[in-house]
Amino acid sequence: MHSIFWTGRVLSRAIRNGLSNLSSAAELNVSKKKHPYLVSVVCGFPKDIANGRSHKGQFGDDAWFSTTFNNADVIGVADGVGGWRAYGIDPGEFSSYLMKTCERLVRMGHFKLSEPGDLLAKSYYELLEHKKPILGSSTACVMILDRNESIMRAANIGDSGYMVVRGNRIVHRSHEQQHYFNTPYQLSLPPPGHDRNVLSDRPESAETAEFKVESGDVILVATDGVFDNVPVTVLVAEMRRAQGMDNDSQKLQAVANSIAWMARNLSFDGCYMSPFAKSARQNGIDAIGGKPDDITVLLAIVAL
C-alpha cells in the first residue's frame, strides 16, 4: 500500500489566507492485484478550525481510518457526541480510540471479513476494558471490502453513514438510526453513576448490509456534518464526478475536497434550508440554516 497524507493544518492556514484549492488530508490506498480494491482519499474540517483537531485520523470530534489486510480493504468514520464537552469530557477521545482500535485490529488480522459489526464490537468492548476510562459516546460506520468475492459489507450505528453511486444513481446507502430527532444511536461509556441518564446502544444494534460492488462504484463514508448540510442530489452529482478517477488520486481528492468544503460552507449559512432544518421542521421544530459541525468525507472508488 502506498500512502500520501497532507495534514489539516495546511488547509486551515490556506482557508485563513483565502486559498481553497489545497487538500486538508489525503490517504491513498492502492493495490496492484487484479481483483477489486479501493482507492480512497479523505478530507475534513473541525467545526472550530482555529482550535479544533485537524490531523491524520481526526477532524475535531470526528475520527476516521483507512487500512488494508491481505485481501481486505477497510474504511470507517466515527463522530464523538459533542454534548459531553459540557461535562468536562473530550468527545474526540472516544471516537478516536474507537477508530484507532478498529485500524489496529485489522492490521493484526483480528477481524472477520464477513462481519464489520464484529470489528466495531471488538473495538468498543476493548474501549470498555481500558485501564483509564475513555468516557463519552460516538456514532460509527465501518465498511469491509472482500476483494476475492467483490463483496462490500457494512455496519452503521447512528447518523454517520455511507452511499454507493453507480452510473447516475444510488445503488446502496445506510439509513440513520435515531431514538428521536437529533438523538442518534450511539456507543457510550458514561461516567460512574450516570448510566441511567445516558443513551447507550449495543454494537449489535448496528444496521448491517452486504452487497456486490463493481469497478467504478463510488463510495462515500461520512459523518452527519456532511449529510445534515448537503442534499443527497448534490452529493450524487459530486460523486458522479469521481467516476473513472481510480487512476488519478489528485482529481479524486479534489472531489472529496469539494464535498467537504461545500458541507462546511453550508453548515454556517443561516438562511439555507438544509437537510437538517427540513428534518427539524418535520419534527415540529421551526428551524432554518445549516448545522455547524465537524466534517469528515472519506471518498473511495472501486478499481480493478
Per-residue pLDDT tens digits for 11-62: 444 444 333 333 344 445 544 557 999 999 999 999 999 988 888 899 999 9
pTM of the model: 0.89
d(CA 138, CA 223): 11
Percent of the chain with pLDDT over 90: 82
> Angle of helix 249-267 relative to helix 232-241, nearest 10 degrees?
160
Q: What are phi and psi of 110, to 5 degrees?
A: -95, 60
- Across-strand partners of 39? 301
Burial tier of 292 (Cβ tally within 10 Å: 0-12, 13-18, 19+): middle
